Every structure is written in structure tokens, then in C-alpha cells.
Amino acid sequence: MSSEEVVVFPGETAQLVGSLHTPETAKTTCGVLLAVGGPQTRTGSHRQFVLLARYLADNGVPVFRFDYTGMGDSEGEKTEFLQACPDLAKAIDVFLSKEGVDSVCFWGLCDAVSLGLMYLSVTRDQRIHRFIAANPWVRQTHTEAQAYLKSYYIQRLLNKELWLKIMKLQFDFAGSFSSLLASVKKALIRPSANKPAVNGKSDKISDDGMTTVWPEFNENNYVNAMLAGVNLLGNNFHLVLSGNDLTADEFKILLKSDRLWAEAIKEKEGDWFVIDDATHTFSSREWRDALARRTLDLCLPG
């Protein structure tokens, strides 16, 4: 059995709370850092993280999961993932200060994936030896619109109630056509392939290789920063995708619409792990267990 310990540590602007899961007998010194993205309740995806951490620790893998500023039990005002890199840096330092942990496997879901890759793009932190990305968040205007067109409108056409409304002349043709046209226009937008990873600011790195001044990440540059992080990881970047998830669909759309992303991911395509029919947060026991087994296999190869 593993043990659990609450760890309180200073973040960039507030006290942060994490949970350290320590195996009774560790089988690796590469611990899993589990970043929680977005507001969490104590059910749903948050519970998924607890169960995953316990499963890994019970099987010999040290785990540290934490909430960045304003999330979960951590103090402070709500922070978007775009501003959370300093907190991630603190969490990595805390985890690596624990006995028996000398490197990190970063595990993220949704915008926590974005956070981890943004952090890597700036720090090039070589202490991160492996990266597991579950349903990466890469939302841009065109990917959101294309995914919406694919999922919402196709499902609507197959909806019996829609056709009943049409036959009863109760359907708003003008409003629906206007909405469809707006979505199509957004879907046709193509972002510049050469946008800088940071918005006009240079990265200032200290002599020890760690970042002292963070760039201003925003919705226009974070996806390019993520790509830089992917390229730094090489074969140590591992994808997990849900089969029934709008966020995963948007990621696939990005690969089709962005040549640089397509090239970066193409060589890793054989390493994709897709859980058919799974929702965004792997909300059934079957999907959750498949995700946990895949994670353990990556943490303890061979």
C-alpha cells in the first residue's frame, strides 16, 4: 500500500496545496507530476486524478498532484493556465526535493497539457523525462468552429425532434442559417504558421538554466509555445485521446490544418493511445482503468 501526505508550499503569489503519494516500495525514481487544470470539484475529473495517483503509487510510482493558484484547495484568485507556469515551476522543485524522486513524468489533461508544454518551451527543463498528454487543449477560433460543425450539426441532422419541428413549420430557418454561416466563416480562418511563441517578449534565462522572467502567454501564442515543447520532448511525448470528446476532435483538426504540428506529431502517431467512446474525463470505470494501465505501462516500461 502507498501513503498520502498533504504538502503546502509557496507559489508565485499564494500558498499552494498538493498531495504526495509515496509507494511502499518504489519501482522507479521518475515520479509522476499530475497537474490539475481548470476549476475542480471533488467528483468527476478531480476524483479521476485521485484514483489514478493511488493506482500508480500502489504499483510503485511516486506521484505528486497539485492545484495551482485559485484552483482546488490552493489559495488566491482564480488563475488561467496561461498564467500558471510559475506555480508549475514551484511544484516541480517541491516534488524533486522528496526522497526517491530524481526526475519527472508530467501528466496532464486538457489545459494542463497546454501548461506543461508552455513551461517546457521556455525553461527546456531537462528534469522532465517523459510527458503524457491526455486530450490536449489547443482551442483556436477555427478548430473550435470545425469541431462544432462536425459534432453538433451532424448530430442535429440525425435528431428526430429537429425534423418534427421542420414538418410542423416550427423551425427557425433564418436563425439557424445565420448561426451555421458564422460557424463556417470561423472554420475557414487559418492562423499564421509563423506566429512567435511569445508575444514580442524575449525569454530571460538565468545562469542555472531556469526562467527568471516569464513571457506573456495568451490565446494567440500558446499553441505555438506548446508545439515548441512537443519538439523538445522527441519520443518522450505520449498522447492519450478520447474517442468521444470535442477537445480531442479539435486536436485532430489542428493536426490536419497546421503543417508544423502535423510534422511534429507524425512520427509519434504509432504511440497514440485512443480509448474508443471515452468522454473527456474518462468518466466510466472501464475508461478510467484503461487510462491508468496505459499510464503505468509508460512509467514502468519493460
> pLDDT by residue (tens digit) across 74-123?
999 988 999 999 999 999 999 999 999 999 999 999 999 999 999 999 99
Is the per-residue pLDDT at 30 higher than 60? yes
The pLDDT assigned to 266 comes to 83
Give the pTM.
Answer: 0.81
Report the pLDDT value the prediction gives residue 148, as an integer from 0 to 100. 60
In CATH, what is the architecture of 3-139+193-299? 3-Layer(aba) Sandwich (3.40)
Q: Which pLDDT belongs to residue 181?
A: 57
**What is the phi/psi pair of residue 208, to 5°?**
-85, 5
Cα–Cα distance for residue pair 11/128, rounded to 1 Å: 19
Our CA dihedral for 213, 76, 218, 121, rounded to 10 degrees, sits at: 50
Give residue 221's pLDDT band: very low, low, confident or very high (50, 70, 90).
very high
Q: What are phi and psi of 114, to 5 degrees?
A: -55, -45
Residue labelled with grid coordinates 487559418: 190
Closest by Cα among 82, 121, 122, 109 to 218 = 82
Q: What is the pLDDT averaged over residues 245-249? A: 91
pLDDT for 161-214, tens place per residue? 655 655 656 555 555 546 555 545 555 556 554 454 544 333 444 444 454 579
222: three-class secondary structure by DSSP: helix
- Assigned C-alpha cell, 193: 504558421
Domain boundaries, the chain: 3-139+193-299, 144-187
Q: 239: burial class by Cβ within 10 Å (0-12, 13-18, 19+)?
A: buried
**Alpha carbons 265 and 213: distance in angstroms, whole number:** 29
pLDDT, residue 204, reads 40
C-alpha to C-alpha distance for 103 and 96, rounded to whole angstroms: 7
| 26 has pLDDT over 50 | yes
pLDDT of residue 48: 87
Helix (H, G, I), strand (E, B) or coil at 268: coil
- % of the chain residues with pLDDT over 70: 72
3 state DSSP class of 112: helix
Mean pLDDT for the chain overall: 83
Name every residue whose Cβ is closer than 8 Å to that of residue 160 and which is 6 or more positions away in sequence. none
Residue 273 has pLDDT above 50, yes or no: yes
- What is the per-residue pLDDT for 175? 57
Residue 219 grid coordinates: 490565446
Greater confidence (43 vs 14) lies with 14
Q: What is the pLDDT of residue 36?
A: 79
pLDDT of residue 159: 59
